[in-house]
Amino acid sequence: MSTSDINFVRQQFPALTNGFAFFDNAGGSQVPVQVANKISHYLLHSNVQLGASYRISKQSEAMVATASGLWAQAINAADPAEIVMGSSSTALLQNLARSLAHYFKPGDEVIVTNCDHEANIGPWLGLEEAGIVIKTWKINPDSFQLELEELGKLMTSKTRLVAFTHVSNILGSINPVEEITRFIHERGALVCVDGVAFAPHRQVDVKKWDVDFYVFSFYKVFGPHYALLYGRHALLSQLPGINHYFIAREDVPYKLQPGNVNFELTVGSTGIIDYLDTVFAQHFEVSTWDLFSRLKQVFDLFTEHEEQLTRRFLEFLTSKKNIRLIGSVEFSREVRVPTFSFVVENIKSSVIPPQVDGYDIGIRWGDFYARRLINDLGLSDVDGVVRVSMVHYNTVEEVDRLIRVLDRIL
In order of their start, the domains of the chain are 3-30+290-409 (3.90.1150.10), 36-272 (3.40.640.10)
Compute the distance between CA of residue 259 and CA of residue 2 in angstroms, rounded to an integer: 46
Residue 255: helix, strand or coil by DSSP?
helix
What is the rounded radius of gyration, in angstroms, for the C-alpha atoms of the chain?
21
For residue range 31-42, what is the model confidence (pLDDT) as tens digits?
999 999 999 999
249 or 273, which is more confident: 273
What pLDDT digit, counting tens, does each position of 13-57 carry? 999 999 999 999 999 999 999 999 999 999 999 999 999 999 999
User: Which H/E stretch holds residue 136?
Assistant: strand 133-137
Q: Report the distance separating Cα 334 and Cα 115, nearest Å.
A: 19
Residue 193 CA to residue 367 CA, distance in Å, equals 20
Q: Which is higher by pLDDT, 337 or 288?
A: 337
User: Which residues lie across from 340 on neighbouring strands?
Assistant: 388
> 135-167 pLDDT, tens per residue?
999 999 999 999 999 999 999 999 999 999 999
Question: What's the rounded mean pLDDT across residues 296-315?
Answer: 96
Percent of the chain with pLDDT over 90: 97
d(CA 68, CA 257): 13
Least Cα distance to 267 among 36, 13, 10 occurs for 36
pLDDT tens digits along 355-409: 999 999 999 999 999 999 999 999 999 999 999 999 999 999 999 999 999 999 9
Whether residue 1 has pLDDT greater than 80: no
* Residues facing residue 365 across a β-bridge: 386
Question: For residues 189 and 173, what is the distance between their CA atoms, to the nearest angstrom?
Answer: 24
Evaluated on CA atoms 213, 214, 219, 222, the torsion sign reads negative
237 DSSP assignment: T
DSSP letter at 241 equals P
Q: Label residue 245 exposed, middle or buried (CB < 10 Å: 0-12, 13-18, 19+).
A: exposed
User: Is the overall model pTM greater than 0.95, yes or no?
Assistant: yes
Name beta bridge partners: 344: 323, 347
Q: Count CA atoms within 13 Å of residue 132 on its CB side.
A: 26
pLDDT of 4 above 60: no
Q: State the Cα–Cα distance between residues 214 and 363, nearest whole angstrom.
A: 28
Strand order in the sheet with 364-366: 323-325, 339-344, 385-389, 364-366
Q: What tens digit of pLDDT does each residue of 89-123 get?
A: 999 999 999 999 999 999 999 999 999 999 999 99
Element holding 314 (H helix, E strand): helix 291-319
397 Cβ neighbours under 8 A, 6+ residues apart: none
Task: For 172-228, write each residue's pLDDT tens digit.
Answer: 999 999 999 999 999 999 999 999 999 999 999 999 999 999 999 999 999 999 999
